[in-house]
Amino acid sequence: MKILFVAGDPKPERWTVPIKELLPEAEVYVWDPEGPAVGADYAIVWQPPEALFEREKHLKAVFNLGAGIDGLLKVANLPEALTVVRLEDAGMSVQMAEYVLHQLLEASRGMETYREQQRQSLWKIHRPIKRSEWPVGVMGLGHIGKPVARTLANLDYQVSGWARGEHSLKGVNTFAGPDQLGDFLKATRVLVNTLPLTDETRDIINYELLSQLQPGAVLINVGRGEHLVEDDLLRALDDGTVLRASLDVFRKEPLPEGHPFWQRQEITITPHISARTLRDATLEQITGKIRDHAAGRAISGIVDTDRGY
């Protein structure tokens, strides 16, 4: 079989060498924008160019180097019948749960207050938190959202979850569909977004949505920057609808130097690091699926391109 690596990594050998070790029977190629077609059976990609699908006409499946496939679905000439496979976890869900927990504790435990007291050489103990005052709502209950919700519920936070379809999750009160979104928001003070980016979810975090959260609301966005209407968040911070926000994803990355988010003390900014792709786990998963697919065995992680995930 022939495998084509299309990810724009300046050191593609970091990927291609272990691919060859895991699939010694395969011929592994690196995408060359000026090169000829290689007749690839499979492509491993991250935000591939349209030229890939113009040139490689015999692809059996394309494997995305990430759980979010919005960058791949933007490619105008992505063949409708082509099997698209997303990354399932590969170590990302644990990282995401850690990140969300850290941001939640920063808010609920008032850790900035203690850091400020240290700067002032001030020893002062504040009352313990009541977890009942910090109900969390997780938007999106997929391979990332479910572990996040479970982690917080296991620490005795009151956790709700909302998704497009019905889900059942121990210790988590679940809501489904547009009709139940309002009830979910009313039960939420700390909103955690892990949704996939689709036409339905783009701009979903707007002022109307934020205004339905409980007083003293906190936003943690680890989904996509396009989920958030940035001016609406600034408005919500200005009028006190939202107390603080932790943002790891942005409409434009890197976040431009003059962006107003940089100047807001209520906003914590991180450079899209909440869950990094772990190369070894990723390649073990993808090469295993390529072997199974080539042998005619069923694989998981196939994307419904109409739904966007």
Q: What is the pLDDT of residue 89?
A: 83
Query: If you count DSSP H runs as helices and E runs as strands, how many of each does the chain have, helices first?
Result: 10, 12
Give the residue numbers marked as catalytic.
224, 272
Q: Any idea where the domains of the chain sit in the sequence?
A: 2-90+277-307, 92-269
CATH fold of 92-269: Rossmann fold (3.40.50)
Under 8 Å CB-to-CB from 295, ≥6 apart: which residues?
none
Instruction: List the 83-85 sheet strands across, edge first.
Output: 27-30, 2-6, 42-45, 61-64, 83-85
Tell me which amino acid residue 218 is: V
- Residue whose C-alpha is closest to residue 144's, from 64, 72, 101, 88: 88
The amino acid at residue 301 is G
Per-residue confidence in pLDDT tens, the chain, 309 aa: 999 999 999 999 999 999 999 999 999 999 999 999 999 999 999 999 999 999 999 999 999 998 889 999 999 999 999 999 999 988 899 999 999 999 999 999 999 999 999 999 999 999 999 999 999 999 999 999 999 999 999 999 999 999 999 999 999 999 999 999 999 999 999 999 999 999 999 999 999 999 999 999 999 999 999 999 999 999 999 999 999 999 999 999 999 999 999 999 999 999 999 999 899 999 999 999 999 999 999 999 999 998 888
Closest CA to 107 of 187, 217, 206: 217
Hey, what CATH class is 2-90+277-307 in?
A: alpha beta
Rounded Cα–Cα distance for residues 137 and 261 (Å)? 23
